[in-house]
Structure 1
Amino acid sequence: MAELEGIYTIWLRENIRFTRYKSRIVTSVVTPLLWLVIFGTGLGSAVRFGTGAAGYQAFIFPGIIGQTVLFTAVFSGVSVIMDRQYGFLKEILVAPISRPSIVLGKALGISTTAVIQGLVLLLLSFIVAVPMTPLIFIESAVVILLISLGLAGVGLLIASFTDSMEGFNLILSFIVLPIFLLSGALFPITGLPSWLQVAVYLNPLTYGVDALRNIILHQAVLPLYVDVLVVGLFALVMIMVSAFVFSKKEQSLM
């Protein structure tokens, strides 16, 4: 019960921290919409993807959801650095809760905020003329949760190795953008050069975007169960690895 209470407390703190920054909430919704409306319309008109620009906007809609989850989940790992700098992390470490539970609580809190943003975008699917049913909404929510857990683990893992926000942002600049661009969010992953396909299929977000595209648009490269299996394994591995590294790093600092 102590472990569960600790996980819940850390989860609640992450969500309270998110809701206090109203500008962050607005930006997290407005920015993806700008990508859909401006980028989707401009590039969609240029490449004549599908039926006019709207066809391309619908195509990148699952990818923009993946982008939102990616940026929110990974960048939220900076909370570990902030807690370390302000001394709050030491208070957590001396509490009667294991370090893996601390990581799990933070990962769940981070993923909750990412899922909420993803669900908001799902509700706005009418903007790009994408039909949304209760079944599609629920299935998409499950996939978004798995993606966000894995990416939250990535953010926490990076934060465990860095002691400053500058170093954290520097590492992210070399990780987040390639993950997004190589996920198939903005272009089909079929017909690519072999060397680029290797990079695409090594990217875990590729499977998340493909699963969302399968559920929402009924268009996919891989079977849905393969995508969900890969994303689920990725989430499990990243939580375990980040918990292990966090425990070792913080134990050496105590």
Structure 2
Amino acid sequence: MIRDTWLVFTRQCVLVLRNPVWVFVGIFQPLCFLLLFGPLLDRMPGVGGYEAFVPGLLIQLAMFGSMFVGFALIAELRAGVLERMRVTPVSRLALLLGRCLRDIVSLLVQALILVLIALPFGLDVKITDLALAMAMLALIGLLFSAFSYGVALLVRSEDALAPLLNSLVIPLLLLSGILLPLSLGPGWLQTIAQWNPFSWAVDAARALFAGHPGDPDVWKALVIVGALAVAAATWSAREFARSIR
């Protein structure tokens, strides 16, 4: 399975390298927030600086950058790529893990580019804290990419996949406090946000960028996101196995 995962991963990476523009397209939206929205935070007391804003952008990048990878899988289904896999001995789990690994690597490259661009704006973060934040981003990337692939195998249509994913990701985004801290909102909004696992991830990322790796929010977020990532990967792997028999 490890060999098959590596083969699928390298093939998917070659496809990305042939058209690397998508790596920069994925970072364009958070970069616009960083350059055009970030300077406004200096005039808003109680919001925090770039140590609070950039972690939110990284979580946003992980969510949007990984949620819509299922569209490429639908294109492969239409082209008969997965159909031809039926006659090969390749591990069905590797078909998922290789793609997810490609998505995670692409996500981490985009995240590092965003962090490097934010450094001249005053961002200050320790390497060890940044590495732990990147590990959490990798788990979020695995969660959303596996979920996206699983849903794509179910609906097999871009027209159905797009509104379904948008209907899910927008509430998660707004209830995570990515752009502004949820502490600025009313009590009922904060109560609802407590049930959003990605609000925990945002709080954890901000604690790491503030230099507090021992904050309880960090380990709670890692456990929550890690458990959801394993569940999503398990379900999506079953969908791959069911689709390619």
Do Structure 1 and Structure 2 share a fold, with TM-score over 0.5? yes
Query: For structure 1, which segment, 68-77 or 100-109, has the greater mean C-alpha deviation from structure 2 after superposition?
Result: 100-109
Q: Note the 1:133-152 alignment, pairs <5 A.
A: 133-152=126-145
- Alpha-carbon deviation of 1:131? 0.9
Name the TM-score, length of structure 1 as normaliser.
Answer: 0.85
Say whether 1:78 aligns with 2:71: yes
- Alpha-carbon deviation of 1:98? 3.1
Say whether 1:64 aligns with 2:57: yes
Q: How many residues were matched structurally?
A: 244
Q: Per the alignment, in what secondary structure is the counterpart of residue 176 of structure 2?
A: coil
- Over residues 194-237 of structure 1, what are the superposed CA-to-partner deviations in whole Å (9 max), with x where a residue is unaligned? 54334423323222222211111247985321111111111111
Say whether 1:185 aligns with 2:166: no
Say whether 1:27 aligns with 2:20: no
Distance 1:202 1:97 in 2: 39
Distance 1:204 1:13 in 2: 33
Please identify runs of 4+ aligned residues in structure 1 that moved more than 6 A. Answer: none
The aligned residue for residue 202 of structure 1 is: 195
The aligned residue for residue 229 of structure 2 is: 235
The aligned residue for residue 245 of structure 1 is: 239
Distance 1:154 1:128 in 2: 35
Distance 1:136 1:125 in 2: 16
Stretches of structure 2 that go unaligned for 5 or more consecutive residues are none
Distance 1:198 1:239 in 2: 29
CA pair 184-158 structure 1, distance change in 2 beyond 3 A = same
The aligned residue for residue 9 of structure 1 is: 7
The aligned residue for residue 212 of structure 1 is: 205
Q: Is the 8 A contact 1:210 1:222 kept in 2?
A: no
Query: For structure 1, which segment, 183-192 or 6-15, has the greater mean C-alpha deviation from structure 2 after superposition?
Result: 183-192
- Picking from 164, 176, 186, the partner of 2:157 is 164
Q: Note the 1:34-113 alignment, pairs <5 A.
A: 34-42=32-40, 44=41, 47-50=44-47, 55-113=48-106
CA pair 222-86 structure 1, distance change in 2 beyond 3 A = same
Q: Is the 8 A contact 2:51 2:124 kept in 1?
A: no
Computed over aligned residues only, the root mean square deviation of the Cα atoms, in angstroms, reads 2.3
Identity within the alignment, %: 24
Distance 1:162 1:71 in 2: 19
